[in-house]
Amino acid sequence: MRFAGKVAVVTGSGSGIGQAISVRLAGEGAVVVGSDINAAGLEKTAAMVAEGAAFHSAVSDVRSRDTCHELVASVVADHGRLDVLCNVAGVARGHRVGDVDQEAWDLIFGVNVEGLFWMSQAALPHLESSRGCIVNMASNAGLMGQAYTVPYCASKGAVIQITKAMAMEVIKSGVRVNAVAPGGVETNLSASFGFPDDPDMELMGLYMGFRGMAQANDIASAVAYLASDEAHRIHGAVLSVDAGLTAG
């Protein structure tokens, strides 16, 4: 019950890693508000939460600054505080460089970067009051170049730099800002990634790793640790959970 008495917001809560984090934090005592654009997914998450645990759904699109600020304000109005923000909502697509259009670029950056920033901006004043924390979802793709994923890699590189820059800006406050950088995880996001036709498998093999894909619960464990008081000395860090993929 590491999160008893605490209030957490998890974006991307309707599936995959966000769903696993929501179930984990609620199971450890947090009041969790799960945000997602997918209402049906949020219903599924709510059904997975243990009996007696607190999970509340909020259908929202994090690409809108106003929506993010309204969501955070409503959470604080309803629950009196905010202790943990987990920015997990994400979009992943595979493209050759020449095939990336404006719509694809804007979608990836709108969800992965802008949504994370707007949620953090809205949450920070409340996290300063509670001496809370932010955990961002980065990726091994933000730490290494990968063929056919230039927009996605760029967005996750931005997540890492936002994490570090924000950590420096709030370093004199009690707020902690960290990120988790998974490798491949078996989720709907990875299953629907969609590489271009006839990719060069030699290029893709460079970032496949040797230990297989993780489960969403593996990443939820790392996030729960970083969000807990056990990690009170960890600030501005990027925790790789990729089975050694970026070690070399």
Residues marked as catalytic: 152
Q: Which tokens in the block code for residue 28?
A: 């450890």
Contact yes or no for 26/56 (Cβ under 8 A):
no
Contact yes or no for 187/216 (Cβ under 8 A):
yes
Q: How far apart are CA 180 and CA 186, in angstroms?
A: 16
Integer CA distances (angstroms), 37 to 40, 64, 67, 171, in order: 9, 12, 11, 32
Q: How far apart are CA 69 and CA 3, in angstroms?
A: 23
Q: Locate all alpha helices (DSSP H) within the chain, ordered by sequence.
A: 16-27, 39-48, 65-79, 102-109, 116-130, 150-169, 188-191, 201-205, 216-227
Contact yes or no for 116/160 (Cβ under 8 A):
no
**DSSP class of 175:** -
Nearest to 61 by CA among 126, 106, 22, 29: 106
Residues 24, 194, 212, 19, Cα dihedral to 10° = 0
Contact yes or no for 45/19 (Cβ under 8 A):
yes
